Structure 1
Amino acid sequence: MQNHPEHTPADAPKTTSSSGDGAAADATARNDALERQILADPGRFRVLTGDRPTGLLHLGHYFGTLQNRVRLQEIGVESFVLVADYQVLTDRDVAENLPESVEGLVLDYLAVGIDPARTTIFTHSTVAALNQLLLPFLSLVSVAELGRNPTVKDEIAHSRQSAVSGLMFTYPVHQAADILFCKANLVPVGQDQLPHLEVTRTIARRFNSRYAPGSALFPEPEALLSAAPLLLGTDGGKMSKSRGNAVALADDADQTARLIRGAKTDSTRHITYEPATRPEVSSLVLLAAMCTGRDPRAVAEEIGAGGAGMLKRTVTEAVNEHLAPIRARRAAYARERGFVRTILREGNERANAVAEATLDEVRRAMKTAY
């Protein structure tokens, strides 16, 4: 949830395991059914999603999550978007430049079309009642369960801290508090975030069973898996804010051109779209296709013998044209910093009211409302 999800390219090699194929087919069927339910009755759903303010959002976030948030907002799903400033500390000893990073995140949200009149944008650190849920929720999971969480293992392995903090270890439970404080029943995630969501579902189920039998105080949220394909960074690796391999929404046209000129390709001149065997070239082709609304194979065929040079020029033009209105809106909002602070203040007020009401229910259920 807090980081842009990982996705599988549309043409990625499929597993040869029949059980794997069956599981993938089941997941697709469940997701399709969920999408139909959302379209039929969007008012049934409440979404929680968000990001850590660790840098500017980029094209991976835009195609992977931001477009979907705007889509859900536009069809009438109630949405909460969390600026997870506390969670910056999960893998950093110090949260640097936090005020600027938080404001930058809000500017990115506004620029892509997230509407604060319909979507509640709020910050972790300002909603005390949300964070108070962490303690009772921690009592509902074991140390062994947290230790087995594959996402926690991966985060610890790649931690920037000199020593892993307790916050890192309890990250899935904190994320459960993020989701359950507003009783979100729908969480857009990538495949890599499913273990976190399962912790949330477990906590909701155990709380209801232990403290509120028969009442279902907390929903067990459903995962809405994104179908967005994977975009690689310009170095051929995972696109990341911290690796300097991504085009940020806030980058200007010249910065974009410079980044794409330096993008990794391969030694074959003729351009084709073959994600399994030519991942770097195919990712650039896919980016141009997504920005122009075309089929990637048609884009590759058009470039053909033009080689990497023509490919990069095509991608640069497509990205800059697609992002031009987003960047114009972002620049306009950046001149109104007071407006950005007002959005956060009002979003924090709404989130606090929801969190206080939920915490009050929790206290009454636990018989600690003195």
Structure 2
Amino acid sequence: MTSRTVDAATARSAELAASIASRPEAHPMLTGDRPTGDLHIGHYLSSLRTRVDLQNRGVDSYVLIADYQVITDHDGVGSIKDSTFSLLVDYLAAGIDPALSTVFTHSALPALNQLMLPFLSLVALAELQRNPTVKDELRASRRPLSGLLLTYPVHQAADILFCKADVVPVGRDQLPHLEQTRVIARRFNAAYADEKPVFPEPSALINDQQLILGVDGEKMSKSRGNAITLAASADETANLITRARTDAEQLVTYEPERRPEVANLLTIAAGFTGSSPEELATGLGASGGRGLKALVIEAVNEGLREHRRRRLELSRDRGFLQGVLRTGNARAEAVAAQTLTEVRAAMSMDY
């Protein structure tokens, strides 16, 4: 993306945040995750709490468990059912309320997936091949490029547009796929619904929080095995944090460029305590890596204490969880069916 495009997205994000503050009910939101494993503290700090806050402020929230997207870069689905319910448990434990948010799965919404056909007709092959999201996923998967991975941005556009979401909380690294969605919405309206547009052009609600690193100093990821998951016990969390990379300097300072691993641990502790990383570093003084890790262990375990309690309680009631998904799937499918009806009418296919 060009710097001009990023600047424009940043400006729209600021305008959107201001509008949400005054009229939250006017802004449908789409967000979600792929069920490829347990969520980790990076998800909790950067997205889960934001979703709950927006939901509680009155934003019409759609939370997607993107099960079809698992096979974009995997040979199979693995333990997808367990991963789906693990995601759902973490959503609910974090505060997602199924009475206020629609939680649903890809595979349960035929009408949503049918939007892929007209959307694909609006996108050139070259656009998909140069999309950074596709390139990054292909590089990470180390597999031949599949048709589904190539069309991943179009599938994401269908996810966002089926409920006419105009709010998509993302980091700056995810702006390219959202820009593709904006292009698809614009092209569909121009081709078929110029006088009465069917789709809004969604805007990113940009999250500028620092990227959370894993215990190996690389990006925290479910697939890399370097994550502190929300499902981990207090002892497991302590063991993982004890293994985290730091450096040999005794004086603890917050310098993200020079000391990224130390800065990462301070960022994690700050996220759970409400203090700034700089304040925490000053308080630790010359405590070194051992003192820093002790602080982070206490901050994470105390910060997740109530989440873990709710998580354990929810995990014991599979029937309740299945009911939440059934209700959310039915609600989302009704919305998708209505949107598909509008699309067919706009395309003169409402026979």
Residue in structure 1 matching 2:77, options 66, 85, 95: 95
Q: Are 2:57 and 1:58 aligned?
A: no
Q: Of 138, 157, 167, which residue of structure 1 is paired with 2:148?
A: 167
CA shift at 1:155, angstroms?
Answer: 1.2
> Residues 114, 165 of structure 1: CA spacing in aligned structure 2 closer, same or farther, 3 A cutoff?
same
Alignment of 1:143-222 (within 5 A): 143-161=125-143, 163-222=144-203
Asked whether the equivalents of residues 292 and 322 of structure 1 are also in contact (C-alpha less than 8 Å), the reply is yes
Aligned mates of 1:349, 1:235 — CA distance in 2: 42
| Residues 87 and 368 of structure 1, relative CA distance in 2, 3 Å threshold | same
Aligned equivalents of 2:325, 2:17: Cα separation in 1: 30
1:200-279 aligned within 5 A: 200-279=181-260
- The aligned counterpart of 1:369 is 350
Are 1:283 and 2:264 an aligned pair? yes
Q: Secondary structure at the match of 1:269?
A: coil
1:138 aligns with 2:120: yes
Alpha-carbon distance in 2 for matches of 1:104, 1:24: 34
Equivalent position of 1:84 in the other structure: 66
Q: Secondary structure at the match of 2:337?
A: helix
SS in 2 for 1:188: strand
2:313 maps to 332
User: Identity of counterpart residues, as a percentage?
Assistant: 57
Secondary structure in 1 matching 2:141: coil
- 1:126 is matched with 108
Farther off after superposition, 136-145 or 300-309: 300-309
Q: Deviations over 1:108-148 (max 9, x none)?
A: 10010000000000000010000011011100111011112
Gap change, CA 1:28 and 1:137, over 3 Å in 2:
closer
Query: CA–CA distance in 2 between the matches of 1:143 and 1:26?
Result: 25
1:48 corresponds to: 30
**In structure 2, C-alpha distance between the alignment counterparts of 1:177 and 1:351, rounded to whole Å:** 13
Indicate which of 62, 68, 90 corresponds to 2:50.
68
The unaligned stretches of length 5 or more in structure 1 are 1-18
Deviations along 1:333-355, one digit per CA (max 9) or x if unpaired, are: 01111000000000000011001
State the alpha-carbon separation in 1 of the partners of residues 236 and 157 from structure 2: 38
Deviates further, 168-177 or 223-232? 223-232
1:296 to 277, 282, 293: 277
- Deviation of 1:254 after TM superposition, in Å, equals 0.4
Tell me: CA distance 1:239–1:34, structure 2 relative to 1, closer, same or farther (3 Å). same
Aligned residue number for residue 346 of structure 1? 327
Instruction: Using the TM superposition, give the Cα deviation of residue 24 of structure 1 relative to its aligned residue in structure 2, in angstroms.
Output: 6.8
Partner of 2:292: 311
CA distance in 1, matches of 2:5, 2:119: 30
Question: 1:164, CA displacement in angstroms?
Answer: 2.0
Q: State the alpha-carbon separation in 2 of the partners of residues 363 and 31 from structure 1.
A: 31
List 4+ stretches of structure 1 deviating above 3 A.
Answer: 22-30
SS at match of 1:266: coil
Matches of 2:12 and 2:187, distance apart in 1:
24
Displacement, 1:295? 1.6
CA distances 1:214-241 after superposition (whole Å, capped 9, x unpaired)? 1011111111101322221111110101
Does the aligned pair in 1 maintain the 2:32–2:65 contact within 8 Å? yes
Tell me the TM-score normalized by structure 2: 0.97
8 Å contact kept, 1:93–1:160: no
Q: Quote how far apart the aligned CAs of 1:301 are.
A: 1.5
SS state at 1:164 partner: coil
1:136 and 1:334 mapped to 2: Cα distance?
A: 40
Number of residue pairs matched by the alignment? 350
Change (3 A) 1:352 1:215: same
CA displacement, residues 243-263 of structure 1 (integer Å, 9 cap, x when unaligned): 121111111100000000000
1:12 equivalent in structure 2: none
Alpha carbon RMSD of aligned pairs, Å? 1.5
For structure 1, which segment, 251-260 or 207-216, has the greater mean C-alpha deviation from structure 2 after superposition? 207-216
The separation in 2 between residues aligned to 1:30 and 1:361, in whole angstroms, is 27
Within 2, Cα distance between the matches of 1:203 and 1:29?
21
SS at match of 2:169: strand
Deviation at 1:29, TM superposition (A): 4.2
How far 1:26 sits from its partner (Å)?
5.9
Contact 2:12 2:203 in 1 (8 A): no
Q: State the Cα distance separating 1:23 from its structure 2 match.
A: 7.6
